[in-house]
Amino acid sequence: MSLVYKPDWEETRQRLRQWWNHEYFGRCALSVTAPLDNPPDQPAPPAPQTLEDQWYDLDAIAARNDYGMSRTFYGGEAIPIWSAGYPGIASLATMLGCPFRLDMHTGWHDPIFTDPDGFDIRSLRLDEHHDAYRYHFDVLRRAMRESAGKSFPSMGAFYHAGDLLDAIRGTEQLLVDCIERPDVVRDAEDWLMEMWCDFFDRTYAAVNGAVQGSACWFGIWAPGKTYAVSNDFSYNISPDMYREIFLPAIRRQMEFLDYSIYHVDGVNAFAHVDALCKEPRLQAIQILPGAGKPSPLYYLDVLRQVQRAGKNLHLYLEPDEVQPALEVLSARGLFLSTWCRTETDARTLLAQAERWSVDRG
C-alpha cells in the first residue's frame, strides 16, 4: 500500500516492525522531515484567528493538515499524521469534569477534588454525552475520512498514568496525598487505568481498520495497540515512591498495549529509568531532557543504560547530532527524530546515517 504523502510506506512499515522487534535492518531508525524541494503550487489556507478556527472548525483543520502534509518530505521512518492538535480538549480529564481553559496554543485543567482530607475517585464517571467526548470521536471520524489513502489518523492524546490524577487532584495536593494516603493514590491510579484501557479500546476500534495498527500523538506507527506511556508527575517524586504508588498502574498499561514507548520527560524523571529498564513489557524508552537542558547526548550514561537493558531508544536530535549519536550508540533499536531545511539535505542525511550506523548489540 502506498500513501499519497508517504509513497514508500510499504518499506517503512517493514522497518518499523523490525525496530519494534529490536531487529537491525542496516541503519538506525531515522525520522527526518523537510520542506519538499518542489511543493505543489497551492495557496496556504487562512491562519486561524479565533479559538473556534484553531481547535473546533474541522474544515479549517482539515485544510491546514492537507496543506502542511502536501508540502513535507517524510524521510525514513517519518510518517504523515492527521490530527486536530493536542491542547487537552479531548482528554479524559476534560471528560471527567475538570474545568478547562483554552488558548491558541494549549489548554489547562483545574482540579475537581480539592478537599485536603481526601477524595473518592470512584464517584467519577466517564460522560459519553460530554462535549469533549463527542469532539474526540468527531475528530477521529474526520481524521479517518481525510487521511484515507494519504496519511494516518492520530488516536489523539488523552492523558496517561499519574497525570490524569494530577489534573483531577492538583499537583500540590497529590504530592501531599502520596505522603499521607499512598494506598488511596495507588487505588485511584488502578481505577483510572482501567478506565483508560476501556477508552483506548473504543478509540482503537475507530481507527484500526484503516491503518492496520495505530499511531498516537507520539508519531510512531505500530502494527497493533500503541501509545506513549508517561507520567510527567513523576518528575516530583522519588524512585521508591514511583515504584510503590505509580508503577503498578503503568505496568497494567504496558501489559494492555501491544507496543509501548515510555516518554521520560525531564532530567528529574531520569531517576525512574532504572525501574523502567526492568519492565519486560516495555519495548522502548524516549529520553527527553526538557526545555533549557543540554542535548540528550549530554546524558550518555542514561542512554547507554537503556541500550544495555535491551530496550529500544528514541531521541530528538538536531540534524548535526545524528553522526555523533551514531558514533557512541548502537544503531540497533535506536530511533532518531530530526528535521532538515531541504528535502535534498534530508535525503543526504538518510544516506549518511546508513554509513554511520553500527550494530553494537
Residues 6+ apart with CB under 8 A from 113: 119, 121, 168, 169, 170, 173
169: CATH: 3.20.20.210
CB 13 within 8 A of CB 221: yes
101 lies in a domain?
A: yes
| CA quadruple 62, 63, 68, 70: dihedral sign | positive
**Rounded average pLDDT over 335-340:** 98
What does the pLDDT read at residue 210?
66
CB 250 within 8 A of CB 271: no
pLDDT digits (tens, 9 = 90+) for 79-127: 999 999 999 999 999 999 999 999 999 999 999 999 999 999 999 999 8
Q: Specify the pTM.
A: 0.96
27 lies in a domain?
A: no
What does the pLDDT read at residue 351?
97
| CA gap 219, 239 in Å, rounded | 28
pLDDT digits (tens, 9 = 90+) for 139-186: 999 999 999 999 999 999 999 889 999 999 999 999 999 999 999 999
CB 78 within 8 A of CB 69: no
Give strand pairing partners of 30. Answer: 336
130 lies in a domain?
A: yes
| Structural domain boundaries enclosing 127 | 42-70+80-215
What does the pLDDT read at residue 208?
80
CB 8 within 8 A of CB 15: no
* Side-chain-side CA neighbours of residue 90 (13 Å): 23
19 lies in a domain?
A: no
pLDDT above 90 (res 211): no
105 lies in a domain?
A: yes
Tell me the three state secondary structure of residue 349.
Answer: helix
281 lies in a domain?
A: no
* Tally of structural domains, the chain: 1
165 lies in a domain?
A: yes
pLDDT digits (tens, 9 = 90+) for 248-290: 999 999 999 999 999 999 999 999 999 999 999 999 999 999 9
Work out the number of other CB atoms within 10 angstroms of the CB of residue 286.
23
129 lies in a domain?
A: yes
